[in-house]
Structure 1
C-alpha cells in the first residue's frame, strides 16, 4: 500500500507542511455548503424513482439540461445508494479540474487543501508527477489514489481507481470533462461502486455534476502490495475471492449504512465548493509545477 512515510495520517498542517509553497491556500475550516445543498440536507431522502444505476450515467448526464434530482440522495430497490450533487463554480474551468486531479495526489498536504476538516492522507499507486510530457489526464487516469479521510465522522481508507471516461461510455465535448472512477477500499481488495464528476461550462464559469453509485460490492484481483491487512491478503487468493464473490454481492445493503447518502452528499458539496473558491488562483500559480 503506497503511503507517505513522512507522517501518519492526520488532519491539518504540521510544521513541515506549512513550508510547502502552496501552504498559503490552506484554510483550517471548510467553507459552508451552498444554500441549495443545505436545503436538501434538511429535507431528507429523494424519491426512489429519481435514482438510476451507474451504467445509465453516460446517457443521462450527456443530455442538455438537468436531471429531476441534481442534488440529493436515495436508496434504490436494487441496493444501490444513489447520490447527486450540483456545485456551481464561477470563474472555474473543466481544465482546472483535470489539472487538480493530476496534481493533488502526490502530496498529502495538497489533498488537505480540498477538505481541511476531513482529509488526512493521499498517495498515488504510481506517482507520475515527475514524468515529463504527460497531459493532466494522463497523470490520474488508469491510476489509483489511496486516500484516508473522514466521512460522516468515521475514518475511511479508500482506493479511487480512475478510468478513461470514454471506456465508461462518455464522449469528449469541448469545455467539458468527466472524472470517472471505481470506488473501493485501500485495505481490502473490494470495490463498492462508481463515481462520476462532470464539469461543464456555464455563462460565468463551470458547474460540477457529481454522481455516486454505491452498492453491489465485489472482490477484485489486485497485487499483494495493494492491500495492507491479513483479511485483505486472504481475500485476494483465488479460491477465497471466488467464494467471497458468491456471497458479498448479497450483503450490499448491510455494508452500505443508511446514513451514507446524506454523509457523502454533505462531504462532496463541502469539498467541491471549498476548493472551487481558490482553484483558479491555485491553478494559475502552480500549473507548471510537478
Structure 2
C-alpha cells in the first residue's frame, strides 16, 4: 500500500468508497506540500463499472482514444507487453499525447496498478460486496517529454484513480488526480489553471465515453453479455 499521498486535503482515500457526498466531489485542492489534487465526478448514463473496466482492456489505437475525447486526445503510442487485450491492464504502461482543454498537447505516461495498493484492501473488497463500488482503475502518472520514472518504470510525478459505482441510471464515476510529487516547487510549477484544465478534460472524456461505451461493449460481446433489447 502506498503512503496515502492524497491525504489530508480530501481525508482518507478510502472515503471515496462511501456513497455519501464528500467535501470535494468536483474541484481542485492543494496538499501542504503544494501538490495539486484534482477531483471530478461524472455521471455515465447507461454504463456500468464492468464496462469501464473492460474499456481499459480494449482501447489500443489512436482512433479509439479520439472517440474517447475528440478534441484533446492526439495520438496513442501503444501499450507495453504487460497489456493483454480483453484480459489485463494491471501492471501495463501506456504512452499517449493529449491536450488538457486550453493547454497544448503534451506526452502522458501511465502505469496501471492493482487498486488494492491505493485503497485499504479489506475496505475495497467490502465496498464491492455491498455494491458501493463496481470498478476501480488506479495508475501512476506523469506528463511531459521527460517523465521521471522509478526503477520499476513507474512515473514519479503523480497518481490517478477512477472509482465507479453502479446506479439505476448507469454509473457514477469519482476521479482523483495527484500532481507534482516529483516537483521541487509544485505550488509554483503547477498553477491552479492546470488542475482546472485537467478537471475539464476528465469530465469531458468520460462524458464522451458514456455516449458510445454501451453499444461498443455489447457489440464486442464483452464478458459474454447479451445486449438488452429496447423493444
Query: Fold-level match, TM-score > 0.5?
Result: yes
Aligned position for 1:111: 65
Mapped to 2, the partners of 1:257 and 1:144 lie a distance apart of 27
Mapped to 1, the partners of 2:141 and 2:180 lie a distance apart of 10
Deviation string 1:210-229 (CA, Å, 9 cap, x unpaired) is 11111221xxxxxxxxxxxx
* Corresponding position: 1:184 with 2:142: yes
Mapped to 2, the partners of 1:144 and 1:128 lie a distance apart of 8
Aligned position for 1:149: 98
Aligned residues: 200
Aligned position for 1:45: none
Mapped to 2, the partners of 1:196 and 1:129 lie a distance apart of 20
Deviation string 1:95-150 (CA, Å, 9 cap, x unpaired) is 0001101111x2111111100111011211226446xxx63xx2x11111101001
Mapped to 2, the partners of 1:99 and 1:89 lie a distance apart of 15
Structure 2: state its 5+ residue gaps: 1-6, 149-155, 224-231
* Paired residue secondary structure (2:111): strand
Distance 1:142 1:50, change over 3 A: closer
Mapped to 1, the partners of 2:83 and 2:33 lie a distance apart of 38
Distance 1:189 1:100, change over 3 A: same
* Corresponding position: 1:167 with 2:132: no
Task: Please show how residues 23-102 of structure 1 align to structure 2 within 5 Å.
Answer: 51-52=9-10, 56-57=12-13, 59-102=14-57
Query: Structure 1 length normalisation: TM-score?
Result: 0.63
Using the TM superposition, give the Cα deviation of residue 201 of structure 1 relative to its aligned residue in structure 2, in angstroms.
1.1
More strand as a share of residues = 2
Mapped to 2, the partners of 1:268 and 1:276 lie a distance apart of 12
Structure 1 consecutive aligned stretches of length 4 or more whose deviation exceeds 6 Å: none
Using the TM superposition, give the Cα deviation of residue 200 of structure 1 relative to its aligned residue in structure 2, in angstroms.
0.6
Distance 1:89 1:189, change over 3 A: closer
Structure 1: state its 5+ residue gaps: 1-48, 218-248
Indicate which of 177, 194, 197 corresponds to 2:162.
197
- For the pair shown, the structure with the greater C-alpha radius of gyration is 1
Alpha carbons 1:50, 1:68 under 8 Å: kept: no
Mapped to 1, the partners of 2:135 and 2:181 lie a distance apart of 27
Mapped to 1, the partners of 2:221 and 2:196 lie a distance apart of 34
Alpha carbons 1:99, 1:287 under 8 Å: kept: no
Query: Structure 2 length normalisation: TM-score?
Result: 0.78
Alpha carbons 1:114, 1:272 under 8 Å: kept: yes
Aligned position for 1:283: 217
Alpha carbons 1:50, 1:69 under 8 Å: kept: no
Mapped to 2, the partners of 1:255 and 1:283 lie a distance apart of 40
Mapped to 2, the partners of 1:272 and 1:261 lie a distance apart of 17
More helix as a share of residues = 1
Mapped to 2, the partners of 1:71 and 1:90 lie a distance apart of 18
Mapped to 1, the partners of 2:8 and 2:26 lie a distance apart of 11
Provide the aligned C-alpha RMSD in A: 2.3
